[in-house]
Structure 1
């Protein structure tokens, strides 16, 4: 047996103590094979600040497959328990199966020899600890009040208050992000279920890739704002683009255009993704859910404060119900200027509901309304009016079906391009659609075919304007040109 080397013993003791004090060293201690890069160290520093309660709300935006969940969701809870085994932590994700997987992986770290060396008093229940829970949905720490619950989106979060909530990707993919119903249900669940478990000192960590301007991250930031001296309770945001942009980011000193983790995701591979799917690249890889102007169908619409008096005024409607909203847009035209104001954007509306909402929006029953021609029965019912449960009679609307046919979508898009279009700042859903409505891209070039998404309010506008003004304004009708490919660095 070799003699004990006191210097090596002291060195190991120092390493363990540093791992207890510093989260980045902790990750490397319990996961020696983890590839800690410079940007992982930046995230670890922010998580350390969260652990010290210097930050109350933290968002981490990163491209997929860059190790964010390993650091923030799998390793951070064990570190928090080591500092304070009385913490009550909730780990939330888009599905119960995903949340349970995180739970199992957290338990594996807590029970590993490397962790037990650092924090030997933090112990999970064994078979003989019948009074202490240990499942893939919840576990308690033996001898302490600490616990961890893992919950999928829309799942219950009852019982004890939550000290720290860790949200990891609440939307699974773009299909979910594009669903108004899923976005609304997710946000309502956050507000009605998750945040009701918070107390004055509760903290929240949201780790995600961006999908949409209206995703939970976007709604959090719109509601709470960014953290600053003037807004200390806002969100601290750490965001890494797959390819460095020209934005000045103190913690990211890469040259513009270079890859975040070239050993894992090369610049060549990322450039190919950008060319083939600009929207996916901008949102999922650049953490900027706005599409590139190259892909946008309407890149130059203007936001205004109010809807002005116009030479001509009418309404456009697109029907929806379960998943898609019913939309009603007021349209005004003065010369070559067109103005839009969102009046209705809501799912689950029956025809009597639509009539009532229109009256509440102060729609004149005699005002011309051009609606989707796919629902003649709805058009007839809305024209006849309705009687409310109170007995009040509401007059029907002056509604008629729009003109549709082969090529009418592109013709309607071209008709709108003949105007300088403005929309009111209160038209939030219309604004979101304008910023996300885009052409299908082929090899980095925009085609003449729009993606069938983000178009409910826009369909109401497009079909109504096309129906009313089929003849081009002041010039001959032209086809929509193919757009030229533009270098990323010249955008």
Structure 2
């Protein structure tokens, strides 16, 4: 393809731009396109056009959400308007640095500079890239320093650490930080935009809080469709997603997803992959249903006695064991 035509395509079509960014960041990996990337791209374009002010995206791990949103989308926006001021937040400083490094790989590439010649950096500190026109991409971690910082777009990318999400104190800290610090960094509270992209970890994580308290456009993409639905892909175009159909069948088919579920456990799979976190007490059996007695209750007419045994008969090293005792 002619270089000028190719540059024009990358300037006009964000879906194609994501593909090119992926190949730049991970040249040895294989890019497998899928309709969920097209849907995410469509929603991000609606943010750019001002049609969406608050976008919440829930997706399973390894679905390209960080490359699409925190890397490619920021490079795309600054390419079209180098005056944009963007804050990108991750759960750790290490992840913030890595995503910023990937962003730099994109904007330093020859193809990007051909496509967006007006986008040039005046400085880069490893966490902040400042354009010659005063725009910037500032990377930070949850509860990181934001004093004196302002933005017209804030991106929050996986704010919770998976191993801390079960802690009420840790969850509350992130929600309080979002409400008390982060939202105040928007230059204009009416026109300023926020994107949250994350996998679910707990019913009361940041996603759960936002869905209860604010009017968010919610793009919810579990690893396996839980019901028949129509996912927007563009103006007048939808994906008719059938119940039980995997999100990315070429990468993670039903058999592989079932294997992952067995490996990580059904509760974690329900949250991180299905975006349906289970309450702390479970959603089937509740502890308060089971009572204790000092004396066996008297059997009443019509009562039934039901006995159920889980003998843990599997012999793998990681399986539970059974205690056998003589009566």
The normalised TM-score by structure 1 is: 0.55
How far, CA to CA, are the matches of 2:307 and 2:143 in structure 1?
43
Secondary structure at 2:154 match in 1: strand
1:245 paired residue among 209, 214, 226: 226
Q: Check conservation: 1:183, 1:215, Cα contact below 8 A.
A: yes
| Structure 1 residues 364-390: Cα deviation after superposition (integer angstroms, max 9, x where no partner) | xxxxxxxxxxxxxxxxxxxxxxxxxxx
Kindly tell me: are residues 30 and 151 of structure 1, through their superposed partners in 2, closer, same or farther at Cα, counting changes over 3 Å? closer
Alpha carbons of structure 1 residues 282 and 475: separation in structure 2 relative to 1, 3 Å: farther
Mapped pair 1:414 → 2:282: no
Change (3 A) 1:168 1:473: farther
Structure 1 segment 84-103 matched on structure 2, within 5 A: 84-103=81-100
1:236 aligns with 2:217: yes
1:311-326 alignment runs, 5 A limit: none
Q: CA deviation at 1:243?
A: 1.5
Q: Does 1:120 align with 2:107?
A: no
- Give unmatched runs, 5+ long, in structure 2: 24-29, 233-238, 311-327
Q: Closer, same or farther in 2 for the Cα pair 1:293/1:248, shift >3 Å?
A: farther
SS of 1:65 mapped into structure 2: coil
Q: Which moved more, 1:159-168 or 1:289-298?
A: 289-298
Q: Summarize deviations over 1:298-333 as a string: whole Å, max 9, x none.
A: 2xxxxxxxxxxxxxxxxxxxxxxxxxxxxxxxxxxx
The verdict on how the C-alpha distance between 1:292 and 1:282 changes in structure 2, with shifts beyond 3 A counting, is farther
Please give the secondary structure, in 2, of the residue aligned with 1:149.
strand
Q: Is contact 1:283-1:291 (8 Å) kept?
A: no
Deviations 1:41-89 (A, max 9, x none): 1111111111111111111111111211111111110001011111110
- The Cα offsets for residues 400-449 of structure 1, whole Å up to 9 and x where unpaired, read as xxxxxxxxxx7x6511xxxxxxxxxxxxxxxxxxxxxxxxxxxxxxxxxx
SS in 2 for 1:249: strand
Tell which structure's C-alpha radius of gyration is larger. Answer: 1
* Secondary structure of the corresponding residue to residue 63 of structure 1: coil
Which gives a bigger RCO, structure 1 or 2 (Cα 8 Å, sep 6+)?
2
CA contact (8 A) 1:22 1:48 kept: no
Count the aligned residue pairs. 293
Q: Return the offset for 1:293.
A: 11
Q: 1:189 deviation in Å?
A: 0.9
Confirm or deny that 1:159 pairs with 2:155. no
Q: Is 2:45 the partner of 1:48?
A: yes
TM-score computed with the length of structure 2 as normaliser: 0.81
Residue matched to 1:69: 66
